[in-house]
Amino acid sequence: MPTHDPQMLKGVLGLLLLSMLSTTENYGYGLVTELRAAGFDDLAEGTVYPALTRLEGAGLLASHLVRSDSGPARKYYGITSAGHAELTHRRQAWSDLVRSVSVATTPQQAGETA
C-alpha cells in the first residue's frame, strides 16, 4: 500500500477533488472511496469533507441534495465554471512543479557538472 506525506497530500487535495468532479458529480464519501481506489488508502474522511466545503465556499464547486434509498439525502458536488478555470490553473502549476522537482532531483551527468 503506498503511503503519502500528509502535507504533500493536503497540497494537492484540491486538485484531486476538482479533477474527479470535472467529469462527474459525486458526494463526500463517494469521493473518499474513489480516491482510496486510486491509491490514496491513507486518506481520511476528515480531510476530504472540509476540503469540499472550502472549495464550495470559494465558488469552485456547486452542490445539491439527492435522495438516497440507503439513508439521508446525499449532498452531490459538481464543478463550476470558476472551478474549471481553477482546475486548469492547478494542473499547470502541478506540471510545472513536477518538471522542476524532476530537474532538481535528477543526478546530473559527470560531464555536465565539470
Partner 1 sequence: MSLIDRIRTETAILRYDFWLEMRGVNGPRRRDLRRELRANLSEATADIGATRALFGIGSPKELAYAATETDPSRPRWSQGSIWAGAVFLILALWMALTSLTVIQTAEAAGVASPVSVHPFPWWGTTFTAQSSPGTLEAGVTAPWQLIVGPLLTFLLVAQPWRRLRSRQPLSVAD
- What residue ranges bind partner 1 (CB under 8 A)? 10-11, 13-14, 27-30, 32-33, 44-47, 49-51, 53-55, 57-60, 65, 68, 70-75
Q: Compute the distance between CA of residue 27 and CA of residue 87 in angstroms, rounded to an integer.
A: 18
Residue 65 bridge partners (DSSP): 75
Nearer to partner 1, 39 or 50 (CB): 50
Nearer to partner 1, 60 or 79 (CB): 60
The identity of residue 76, as a single letter, is: Y
In the complex, least distance from residue 110 CB atom to partner 1, rounded to whole angstroms: 41
CA 27 to chain CA centroid, nearest Å: 14
Regarding beta strands 71-79 and 61-68, do their DSSP bridges make them parallel or antiparallel, or are they unpaired? antiparallel
Nearer to partner 1, 89 or 99 (CB): 89
In the complex, least distance from residue 52 CB atom to partner 1, rounded to whole angstroms: 9
Nearer to partner 1, 5 or 112 (CB): 5
In the complex, least distance from residue 46 CB atom to partner 1, rounded to whole angstroms: 4
Candidates 11, 26, 12, 10; CA nearest to 61 is 26
In the complex, least distance from residue 94 CB atom to partner 1, rounded to whole angstroms: 13
**CB 63 within 8 Å of CB 49:** no
